[in-house]
Amino acid sequence: MKKLFLYIVSLFIIVGCSDEIPEQKRPIQAKRAVLAYLIANNNLDTDIMNNVVWMYESLAKSQDSCSLAIYYKPSSSNNYINEAQILTFFTDGHGQINGQPALEGNDITTSNVVGQALKYAAISGIATQAEVMQANLQAMTDMMPAESYGVIFGSHATSWMPATGTDISTFSFGYDGVERNSINIPEFADVLETCFPGNLDFVLFDACMMQTAEVCYELRNATHYCIASVMETPVDGFPYHLILNNLYQEDIDFDKLCEDVITYNKKEKLWGTYAVVDCTQMDAFAAAVREEITSKASLLENLSLHAIQQYGVDQFSYFSFDVADLIRQLNEGILPDSFQQILNQTVLAKSCITNSNANPYGSVLRDEEKYCGIGMYIPDAANNPNWNAYYRSAISWYQAVWGN
């Protein structure tokens, strides 16, 4: 906490010196700060560390003042960070980051980027414990006061599925250490509601399988937008060197964001589905889905699951089905106009790759028309008693759509 106090003092000093900047060159203070909560104490450490470098690369090109705080939990093999730390970067929009000339070209290396960061010891503990996550997010917001925030969460994840050691290992969100410590989505949503009371613009999941109705419904009171993939994602992560500056804009260009990610993935011969969901529409979306499945209960009972687009592979087969394709199958292959309207209000942008040669994920989606941007589980679709019991007892979407 002493380091945090010293940081806050240094921040006041920086602000106090801002009068030295000529009025015509004074940077415009960004209304939104971006935070990143990166749990890399696992086999993704090298890739997530590279994501930090990409974030810096984007900041170095920014023509606006931007604030970025990164909570980073490294693995024991990380050569640059040896304990959980908070890295902070402030760019003035005139080529300066943290009061120094921004790195350029070949100088943008992991070592140099970490070296230029203002670093502070994070609050210790398991990164996926609600209390630890909340404390560190709160510390970052204290460091970077802003009108609103966007938060990037990077690690392993498995959507709504419970973070428990079962016959199929699941992470829900986060994988901290050999014990695979994770946080379940309802508790995750509670943390966000506590830390960001009405001022969290977006959550971006740089993690697998998070763009499901179950996740977005839990987040409906926590954030406005959810940016994620319904599939397992490449280890490269989001190409932050191409998209981060977009996330600072007052009106984020979500179509461009999804297209930029897909363009990068295509160039690297990867796969991918990415979408942006308006979580504030999830109550209305749940009501529309419930109406469809309730009115066609007998058709649903006899519907072959193999006929519906699903997004899981191997042990995660049938964890999530395309919502629109399910409704389409219940309506003789036609999506009702009324449902299409609420879908358009809920899924604001989407982009995907079909027929990729990346095995096994490239073959999951063959027809772009079957991808609506958001998936959901069908109770008992998977022969996994742990999933099914947890789904009924803990997931709010179940009660809103499937419950009596």
Number of domains in the chain: 2
Place of tokens 């970067």: 89
- Is position 13 within any domain? no
**Which pLDDT belongs to residue 8?**
42
Do both 101 and 233 map to the same domain? yes
Do both 128 and 111 map to the same domain? yes
Strand 148-154 and strand 32-39: the pairing is parallel
Do both 188 and 135 map to the same domain? yes
**Which pLDDT belongs to residue 169?**
63
- How distant, in Å, are the alpha carbons of 55, 57, 58, 203, 239 from that of 243? 9, 11, 8, 14, 6
Do both 41 and 72 map to the same domain? yes
Identify the CA nearest to 393 among candidates 202, 385, 285, 295.
385
224-256 tens-digit pLDDT: 999 999 999 999 999 999 999 999 999 999 999
pLDDT (mean) for 171-191: 85
Do both 185 and 92 map to the same domain? yes
- How distant, in Å, are the alpha carbons of 32, 65, 246, 348 from that of 249? 8, 11, 5, 16
Residue 25 has pLDDT above 60, yes or no: no
Picking from 281, 302, 317, the residue at the C-terminal end of a domain is 281
Kindly report the CATH number assigned to the domain that includes residue 91: 3.40.50
**Which pLDDT belongs to residue 1?**
42
- Is position 24 within any domain? no
Do both 369 and 336 map to the same domain? yes
**Which pLDDT belongs to residue 6?**
40
Please give the residue range of the domain that contains residue 320.
283-402
**Which pLDDT belongs to residue 392?**
95
Residue 5 has pLDDT above 80, yes or no: no
Burial of 294 (0-12, 13-18, 19+ CB in 10 A): exposed
Do both 250 and 352 map to the same domain? no
- Is position 380 within any domain? yes
310-347 tens-digit pLDDT: 999 988 999 999 999 999 999 999 999 999 999 999 99
Do both 91 and 153 map to the same domain? yes
Count CA within 13 A, CB hemisphere, residue 265: 28
Q: Are 185 and 158 in contact (CB under 8 A)?
A: no
**Which pLDDT belongs to residue 9?**
38
Q: Above pLDDT 90, what percent of the chain? A: 82
Q: Which residues 6+ apart lie within 8 Å of 218 measured at CB? A: 160, 185, 186, 188, 189, 395, 396, 397
- How distant, in Å, are the alpha carbons of 54, 99, 112, 114 from that of 117? 14, 11, 9, 5
Do both 197 and 82 map to the same domain? yes
16 vs 170 pLDDT, higher one: 170
Residue 166 has pLDDT above 60, yes or no: no
| Residue 179 pLDDT level (bands cut at 50, 70, 90) | low
Identify the CA nearest to 286 among candidates 218, 205, 332, 224.
218
Picking from 256, 281, 306, the residue at the C-terminal end of a domain is 281
Do both 184 and 99 map to the same domain? yes
Residue 17 has pLDDT above 50, yes or no: no
pTM of the predicted protein model: 0.91
Do both 188 and 273 map to the same domain? yes
- Is position 155 within any domain? yes
Q: Above pLDDT 70, what percent of the chain? A: 90
**Which pLDDT belongs to residue 351?**
98
**Which pLDDT belongs to residue 164?**
64
Amino acid residing at 378: I
Do both 187 and 243 map to the same domain? yes
Picking from 227, 254, 281, the residue at the C-terminal end of a domain is 281
